[in-house]
Chains A and B, each alone.
Chain A
Amino acid sequence: MTQNVKMEKTKRTRSFSSARKVKNIIIHVILAVLSLIWLFPIFWVIMTSFRKESGVNVNYFFPKHLTLHNYTRLFTDTQVINFPRMFLNTLEISIFSCMIATLFVLCTSYCMSRLRFKMRKPFMNLAMILGLFPAFMSMVAVYFILKLAGLTQGGLIKLALVLIYSAGAGAGFYIAKGFFDTVPKSLTEAAILDGCSQFQVFYKIICPLSKPIIVYTILTAFLGPWLDFIFVKVIVGANDQYWTVSVGLYNMLEREFIQKWYTSWAAGAVLVSIPITLLFIFMQKFYVDGLSGAVKG
């Protein structure tokens, strides 16, 4: 009798576990298919960047002949599209705007998080309202203002771009403020009792504790100019001396370039993606730490 029950039980668990196995296999197959879908376009560019046959539309995944010419061409054939210069432009702009933007974001977010003053809530509401206007709405106006200031001619264009990417950064304080909010108040109170001024609290206590969010802010600010292309397109226009990488890549797909430059475009895309991917992998750790707060429980 008892034996019978036992057998029944093992039978049931066995069928249960086999159903489970089937379910698991199905789930893994689905995951694999999805991963393929997600990876396909990325491998497509990588493959295209090594393809010897030029042209846009080919109906095979693996190139017939492999070559590095697409990469070398970006750095040698600089008559029409000067990739190295675009790269340097972007680097310069992103370094300077990153410094200014990081400073602005940290300053405002610290004030919003730790200091209490009359204009705090109004400023927070203002920042929220400003965030709701489409950014492109004011783009034309910004262009006129820059033109008035004489910043749309010659080398000053770069300064104009730096200002565009960094000047308004102070309004994007939300994430860093959230981080500063998690630093225990007792720490700062103790420091003030010991005679620290508010400024000393900021740079002696809060800043060293906030490395993850500082790194996160720096990296996001640095990435901005690499990813944005619309402001550059409008402000710089046809003046290709000051194009950044993203505008350059966008323009390589214009009708007059696409047939000749498509494979090199892919190579350029890969070259731009590599540092950004590395930064992202590096950032991910800080991102998770930054969002989970300063002091671990």
Chain B
Amino acid sequence: MKIAKQKSDFATPFTLKNALSKGNIFTRLSAIIMGLGNMASGQLIKGVIYLAIEISYIGFMLTQGLYYLKMFPSLGYRKEGEVWNASKGVYEYVEGDNSVLLLLYGVVTIAMTVLFIYFLCDNIKSAYKAQYFKEQGWKIKSFKDDIKDLFDCNLHKFLMFLPFTGILIFTILPLLFMISMAFTNYSDIGNHLVLFDWVGLKNFVLVLGLGGKIGKTFWPVLGWTLIWAVCATFSNFFLGMILAIVINRKETHCKALWRLCFVISIAVPQFVTLLIMRTLLQENGAINTMLINAGLIKKALPFWTNATWARVTIILVNCWIGIPFTMLQVTGVLQNVPAELYEAAKIDGANPVQIYFKITLPYIMFIMGPYIITQFTGNINNFNVIYLLSGGAPQPIGQTAGKTDLLVTWLYKLTIDYKYYNIGAVIGILTFIVLSIVALVTYRNTASYKDEEGFQ
């Protein structure tokens, strides 16, 4: 029902099906010679542009693309080295295949082909549109009109072109590349860093199975990631909210001063504060030395060397970082709670606790709902806090992940330190799956997604 309505918003008679069944010979021929239909109907420049796209695509495919497509299934097999050249009587250096490059070029070629098919369809539709306009005796849009449209009814095409190209090249393409890596044996294991092959779902079995070393690491890391995300999100939210409410009370003096004290910590760059915390809390760091000198403890507290200590410390330090953010946000919300609500509640004889649970909390939750979800997903991917504070330590010898490593930091270690690119890619995909489950269930139920025009 809803989908049908959406479709009708943008319904147009100029579809591919109509074009191919009702179009004239030029329109149909556009499927082979792009731009022909437009040229036949008098849109010369547009036709030439389509033709140029086709020629450059075919040129690319003939010179390079076909080779890359041919190599894509095998990802290369020639080893680099010296080969005996009998006719010259010398050893010749032969540059072998580089699987990474072949994989990347293959992905690029496929992406370009998809793009080309899009232009092809667009071209046929446009040819049919021009033909239809000509038959009806309507004015056919000149190139100048098309340019003008770019600033008016087609403004989105003009404004979105560059940003979308950027996203395509720097976000989508790398992502596709990495996802395809998950299905290869591109890894330092077995020395597959230059030449590698497709291995199907083997890596997923390796990670998800409990048999191997990787599998035995994966489940504990996933568990800690989820525990961390829940603890970090809710400790920040509730403590931050309580702090905001306490400062916002009528009886609290110097509200601005208190807020300033906490807000200063936001302004200092996070990597600076995290590095300070790390050095302060080291085994022979300032906190330990001060506590020992004061006679409060005898031995240094194992902030980063004991797994449980490290985990608790990280969550506490994260509170130090996160609470001011929540406080700032909640303060903004609190100041917007309609005063009538409180007055009405007071007249009805509600006590402060009731007022809090019946008015303040629901109001905050209503506004901050999406914020909590973003915080949660952000925490699952919270690289900085873990990497800068503990670096995953304590790390048992012979293991790839430490006791405080999240999936993201483990992913980083696997790819950058160990060069297990394929396993890293699998972890990335699994992280994505975990996150999308959280997001799909919650985002789509938030008011701002359902009712984005509520304010207009």
Contacts and interface: CB of A to CB of B under 8 A. Distances in A.
A120 B10 CA distance: 11
A200 B158 CA distance: 13
A155 interface: no
B167 A111 contact: no
A127 B181 CA distance: 22
Interface in A79-121: 103-105, 107-108, 110-111, 115-121
A229 B271 contact: yes
Contacts of B158: 199
Interface string A216-246: 0000000000110110001000000000001
Given A38-B262, A140-B421, A249 B411 contact: no
A193 interface: no
B178 A138 contact: yes
A35 B424 contact: no
A281 interface: yes
Contact of B160 (A44, A111, A276): A111
A230 B383 contact: yes
A111 B272 contact: no
B449 to A, nearest CB: 9
Question: What DSSP secondary structure best describes chain A's contact surface?
Answer: helix
A63 interface: no
B452 A181 contact: yes
B166 interface: yes
Interface stretch (B72-80, B275-283, B357-365): B275-283
B201 interface: no
A23 B317 CA distance: 28
B25 interface: no
A132 B436 contact: yes
B243 A133 contact: no
Given A57-B285, A104-B166, A178-B448, A227 B270 contact: yes
A66 interface: no
Contacts of B290: 59
Contact of B166 (A41, A42, A170, A184): A170
Contacts of B266: 280
Contacts of A181: 452-453, 455-456
Contacts of B424: 137, 140
A199 B151 contact: yes
A111 B156 CA distance: 6
A164 B170 contact: yes
Interface in A37-96: 37-39, 41-42, 44-45, 56-59
14 contacts: A35-B262, A56-B285, A57-B289, A58-B286, A58-B289, A130-B171, A130-B172, A132-B439, A133-B175, A134-B381, A142-B174, A167-B169, A269-B268, A273-B269
A151 to B, nearest CB: 12
B13 interface: no
Contacts of B104: 141, 144-145, 148
A39 B271 CA distance: 16
B9 interface: yes
Interface stretch (A2-10, A26-34, A207-215): A26-34
B15 interface: no
Contacts of A264: none
Given A123-B160, A128-B439, A182-B456, 12 more contacts: A41-B265, A41-B276, A58-B286, A132-B435, A133-B431, A134-B381, A137-B428, A144-B104, A234-B416, A262-B279, A273-B269, A277-B264
Contacts of A59: 286, 289-290, 293
B167 A182 contact: no
Interface residues of B, number: 92
B258 interface: yes
Given A136-B412, A198-B155, A277-B268, A37 B320 contact: yes
A115 B268 contact: no
A132 B436 CA distance: 7
A118 B159 CA distance: 15
B350 interface: no
A163 B247 CA distance: 43
Given A128-B439, A132-B432, A273 B286 contact: no
A24 interface: yes
Given A168-B167, A229-B271, A277-B264, A199 B247 contact: no
A272 interface: yes
Nearest to A56: B279
Contacts of B277: 41
Contacts of B436: 129, 132
Query: Which 5 pairs, one residue from A and one from B, show the smallest C-beta to C-beta distance?
Result: A170-B163, A137-B428, A141-B174, A167-B166, A138-B174
B377 interface: yes
A280 B275 contact: no
A117 B174 contact: no
B268 A276 contact: yes
B217 interface: no
B411 A136 contact: yes
B264 A42 contact: yes
A291 interface: yes
A273 to B, nearest CB: 5
A227 B268 CA distance: 10
The interface centre, meaning the residue of B171, B286, B411 with most chain A CB atoms within 10 A of its CB, is B171
A133 B267 contact: no
B86 interface: no
A135 interface: yes
Contact of A111 (B155, B261, B421): B155
B302 to A, nearest CB: 16
Contacts of B261: 35, 38-39
A28 B252 contact: yes
Contact of A34 (B101, B243, B456): B243
